[in-house]
Structure 1
Amino acid sequence: MAGTNAREIKHLPPAPAVILVSPQLGENIGMTARAMLNCGLTDLRLVTPKQGWPNPNAVAAASGADRVLDQVRVFQTTRDAVTDLTRVYATTARPRDLVKEVMTPRAAAAAQRAEMAAGQGVGLLFGPERTGLENEDLALADVIVTAPLNPGYSSLNLAQAVLLVGYEWWTAADATPPRQLDHGDSGPADKAELFAYLDRLDAALDRLGFYHPPEKRPGMRRNVHAIFQRAQLSGQEVRTLQGIVSAFLGAKLKRGPEALAAKQIESEENA
């Protein structure tokens, strides 16, 4: 999925820092930067990257997430990278012999929002691609974050892990309704428009003999109405449906005499 908006990207709210401990490849750093910017995260910190920094491979893999790469900071130890933070969340898929609070990415995101709103600095800690975080790094964290994935295969690459945690951070403050329809400029149809259409449709269907036999008409009518009630039509769509009814009725009226004449001719030829 492609999509960028230079105007929106300038006004990102404060967000957690992302700390990558000993990332192995520049490409992984670049893909992480891209995942970060997808989720409004811009503070990227590297602890002893294996291929050094800066790295041209990271630039190519970032796909335009230059805002993140341009302000990368490099540290010699994980401790140095988190010194200015108040709360550190370490990500790991493996159980550890550490007594720490464990959260899902979603629960952690809600806590991080509250902490940052209170003026605290928050960091998200990620380990090397092959081994993950060591106990020495995990010991610096306040909370362990573990995603509830398939227990038989929960391994993620670095950018995937950052995207998963970052996505939960971003959506924790999203006010978008879980389901929404775009009704265009006309807006959703009000009940008066819909009822007027349904009354006209009923009349047309009665005229065409659709509601037959008569004793089944109430149930058939309810089923037809339910289709259009469920569709959440726009005003323009209702007007279009009104036009369709008019077209069908007009065609029926035009074909009526012709069909009658043809039937009469056929009867005479068979006589």
Structure 2
Amino acid sequence: MLENLAVVLFRPKFPENVGSAARACLNMGVTNLILVDPYNFDMDKARPLATAHAKHVLENATIVETLPEALEGFTSVYGTTARTGGWRKGIMTPSTLSDVVNDRLRSGGKVAIVFGPEDKGLTNEETSLCSGLMTIPTSREGTSLNLAQAVVVVLYECFKKSLDKPFEADGPPQERPTTVQEQEALFSNLQESLLAIDFLKDDNPDYWMLPVRRFFSKINLRRNEFNLLMGVCRQIQWFVRTYGPDKKK
């Protein structure tokens, strides 16, 4: 869905930052990169930072002379700013911006997010072309972000919102929950093991097992975890049989 989202870099000063921004775009599923009047742009300096993976994003970037030219055809434009206050009111965070961007994109719009020059950002005149403004909250000790860092933070929020369901990392399939019968087998084995090491009092072990049972009731025990604990119990019982106090040295 992010094919209608564009990153606009307005007068970026360092080609290396442009390359890193291109990589950030690819990471978050955005391939439309627009450069406005880049300063001393050098593709050979930018390309290594884009890496081979995002090389096509960088090389296919549109380069224009003016911001109005870059924004032609977009239905919504949002500018980034580190300066707040004054007439710059109603400034969004990346999270709130992503809600707006997601709504615009899902309704068929084309959205541009504009990032200003690294040294001074967007001027009031440039932000006046924007539908809204966004700032990235930071520690007061360091309010300035690298251009590519800012790009990846904003696009990450947009990427999350664009997903039809929450992102889940690939991994092995989750083991099934244990059955009541398996849990009872585990409790019996645990009780035997805890008695063997004198953790439970042998006058009324069922009573002293109640806290253990309550503890496990809080856990959605999986079959692989059941196997692990059963193995621990077997090892405890073997150790006591082999090296217990009733064995002669």
TM-score scaled to structure 1, two decimals?
0.79
- Of 247, 251, 258, which aligns to 2:235? 247
Residues 1:86 and 1:76: Cα distance change in structure 2 (over 3 Å) = same
Instruction: Answer yes or no: is the 8 Å Cα contact 1:101–1:142 preserved in 2.
Output: no
Distance 1:24 1:226 in 2: 62
Distance 2:170 2:176 in 1: 9
1:34 matched to 2:39: no
- Of 150, 153, 156, which aligns to 1:164? 153
Instruction: Answer yes or no: is the 8 Å Cα contact 1:188–1:232 preserved in 2.
Output: no
Give the secondary-structure state (helix, strand or coil) at the position aligned to 1:84.
Answer: coil
Aligned AA for 1:249? Q
Instruction: Answer yes or no: is the 8 Å Cα contact 1:186–1:235 preserved in 2.
Output: no
Q: Which runs of 5+ in 1 are unaligned?
A: 1-11, 263-271
Distance 2:167 2:72 in 1: 38
Instruction: Answer yes or no: is the 8 Å Cα contact 2:84–2:91 preserved in 1.
Output: no
Instruction: Answer yes or no: is the 8 Å Cα contact 1:100–1:143 preserved in 2.
Output: no
1:176 matched to 2:166: yes
Map 1:183-198 onto structure 2 (within 5 A): 184-185=172-173, 187-192=175-180, 193-198=182-187
1:62 matched to 2:71: no
Instruction: Answer yes or no: is the 8 Å Cα contact 2:3–2:32 preserved in 1.
Output: no
Instruction: Answer yes or no: is the 8 Å Cα contact 1:18–1:43 preserved in 2.
Output: yes
Structure 1 residue 20, shift from structure 2 partner: 0.5
Distance 2:237 2:136 in 1: 59
1:141 matched to 2:130: yes
Structure 1 residue 173, shift from structure 2 partner: 3.4
The answer for the alignment partner of 2:11 in structure 1 is: 22
Residues 1:195 and 1:137: Cα distance change in structure 2 (over 3 Å) = farther
Q: Which runs of 5+ in 2 are unaligned?
A: none
Distance 2:63 2:155 in 1: 21
Map 1:1-271 onto structure 2 (within 5 A): 13-52=2-41, 55-64=43-52, 65-95=54-84, 97-98=86-87, 101-174=90-163, 175-176=165-166, 184-185=172-173, 187-192=175-180, 193-212=182-201, 218=207, 221-225=209-213, 228=216, 232-256=220-244, 259-262=246-249
How many equivalent residue pairs?
246
Structure 1 residue 244, shift from structure 2 partner: 2.5
When the two chains are superposed, the root-mean-square deviation of aligned CA atoms in Å is: 2.8
Structure 1 residue 188, shift from structure 2 partner: 3.4
TM-score scaled to structure 2, two decimals?
0.86
Q: Which stretches of structure 1, 4 residues or longer, exceed 4 Å deviation after superposition?
A: 213-218, 225-233
Distance 1:147 1:137 in 2: 18
Residues 1:18 and 1:200: Cα distance change in structure 2 (over 3 Å) = same
After superposition, the C-alpha distances for 1:24-66 in whole angstroms (9 at most, x for unaligned) are 11101001111111111111000001113x6111101112212
